[in-house]
Amino acid sequence: MLFSQRKGYKDLIKELQLNSIDEDLKNGIWTLLVHYYWDTFSNSYGVDRIKDSNMLKLSTSIWVNYFKKPLDTLPIYFDEFLPIIRNYYYKAEWYEIYDLTEFIINNGKEPTKENFIDSCNIILKRENSAYRFVAGQITEITNEIEIKSVENAIKNSSPYAGVKKHLQTAMDYLYDRKNPNYRNSIRESISSIESLAKQISSEPKAKFAVILNKLEAKNNIHPALNKAFRVLYGYTSDTDKGIRHALLEEGELSKSEAQFMLIACSAFVNYIIDSTK
């Protein structure tokens, strides 16, 4: 703890950064981009030219797919390209900084991605950002344990076709910074456990309640969890006001409901996969 914090001249914990990025956080993320990406630039001919460099693919992707500029206007030299990126970054809105960062790590070299994400999450936590990287996406957090549950579910579900895709799509709908869709997020979350349960039970056409009973009979699920997920599934399937029958207006669904469903279904996916190993 610094002197100013011990004496009360500065707050121990800064205000949560939900719809903003302060200078400290902005500088921290940029420093990581410099360390993991920009400083690694190299050209096989020992020159500054982007062509024939290890940064050709990423630079081209940023220019053409992120900035939507014509390819023939891409700067020839990296020391001309980088100031353009830096100038954009430091003038960008808070959400554009996250957009660019997310784009870079998903289009840069794969081995670099994991190390950058680990370091960036440390910075995001240190500066009290409301966001963390989860499965390559910048995601609004509820708490660290819940984030880990979602992240583990996405990783663990890779062997099960569809499950991982449903969870990732649920995240896309929930955390879309411009047009979140809570109805579809809930639908995708519950579809992930439907898909997993059908594959685990080898009953692709069985009703969800039947699948849960089969899993319970095999000791793959506790009776209390069986009951809990019957109720949870009923919430999304009820003929009077269920999500799937589109009888609720979008405004009646809250972010909290969609977030709860994603976390609950992720926990269920983790539980089932672990208990059937």
Q: Each residue of 106-133: pLDDT tens digit?
A: 999 888 999 999 999 999 988 989 898 8
Over range 125-142, report the average pLDDT: 84
Residue 7 has pLDDT above 50, yes or no: no
- DSSP states along 33-76: HHHHTGGG--BTTSSSBSTTBTTHHHHHHIIIIIS---GGGS-S
0.85 surpassed by pTM: no
Nearest Cα neighbor of 25 from 151, 138, 143, 168 is: 138
Q: Each residue of 161-216: pLDDT tens digit?
A: 788 889 989 888 887 767 888 888 888 988 888 888 788 777 777 677 777 777 77
Instruction: Give the pLDDT of residue 103.
Output: 96
Over range 136-151, report the average pLDDT: 76
Q: Each residue of 221-255: pLDDT tens digit?
A: 777 777 777 777 666 655 444 555 443 454 567 77
Instruction: Give the pLDDT of residue 8.
Output: 52
The residues spanned by each domain of the chain are 14-141, 142-277
Please give the Cα distance from 11 to 2 (Å, whole number).
Answer: 10
Angle (CA) 152 155 161, round 5°: 130
Residue 266 has pLDDT above 80, yes or no: yes
Query: Band of the pLDDT at 53, cuts 50, 70, 90?
Result: very high
Please give the Cα distance from 247 to 136 (Å, whole number).
Answer: 34
Angle (CA) 87 88 94, round 5°: 120
Q: How many alpha carbons fall within 13 Å on the CB side of residue 118?
A: 6
Instruction: Give the pLDDT of residue 30.
Output: 98
Instruction: Give the pLDDT of residue 17.
Output: 85
**Averaged pLDDT score across all residues of the chain:** 82
Percent of the chain residues topping a pLDDT of 70: 83
Nearest Cα neighbor of 150 from 182, 179, 123, 175 is: 175
Please give the Cα distance from 258 to 92 (Å, whole number).
Answer: 29
CB 201 within 8 A of CB 215: yes
22 or 10, which is more confident: 22
Please give the Cα distance from 80 to 41 (Å, whole number).
Answer: 13
**Cα→Cα distances 38→30, 57, 180, Å:** 10, 13, 32
